[in-house]
Amino acid sequence: MDENFMKMLQSLRDKLGPLSITSGARCEQHNKDSGGYPKSAHLQSMGADIRIYGPRALALVEHARRVGFSGIGIKQKGIHKHRFIHLDILPRQALWSY
C-alpha cells in the first residue's frame, strides 16, 4: 500500500478507533470479479473500503476530508454488513454514492 495513504488511514484510526477494512490493494482479476472500476485506486494501492454505518460513517467522512482523502464513495443502503465507505488519494476531488 502507498505509504502516505497508510499514514492517512492511521490518522482516521487514531480519531475514530478500530476500522474494518474490507478491501485494500487488489489485483486486476479480483478488481474485475468484484465489479471494480477499471482504473480503480485499489489497483494502485491507494484505495480502501471501510465497513461502517450510522454516526461513525458521518464522522469518518468528515475526518477523511480534513485529512486529505480526495475520493470518497458512500454506500449506506442495504443491510449493515454491506454498508461501506470507499476512500482514496487519486489526483482528483470526487464524492459519489453507490
Walk me through the domains of the chain, giving residue ranges and CATH numbers. 3-97 (3.30.1380.10)
pLDDT of residue 28: 96
pLDDT along the chain (98 residues), means of 10: 97 97 96 94 97 97 98 95 96 96
Provide the β-strand partners of residue 88: 47, 71
Provide the β-strand partners of residue 21: 50
pLDDT of residue 81: 87
pLDDT of residue 59: 98
CA distance 88 to 70: 6
pLDDT of residue 88: 98
83 contacts 55 by C-beta, under 8 angstroms: no
pLDDT of residue 72: 98
The conformation of residue 92, written as its DSSP 8-state character, comes to S
Angle CA(76)–CA(56)–CA(26) in degrees, nearest 5? 60
69 contacts 88 by C-beta, under 8 angstroms: yes
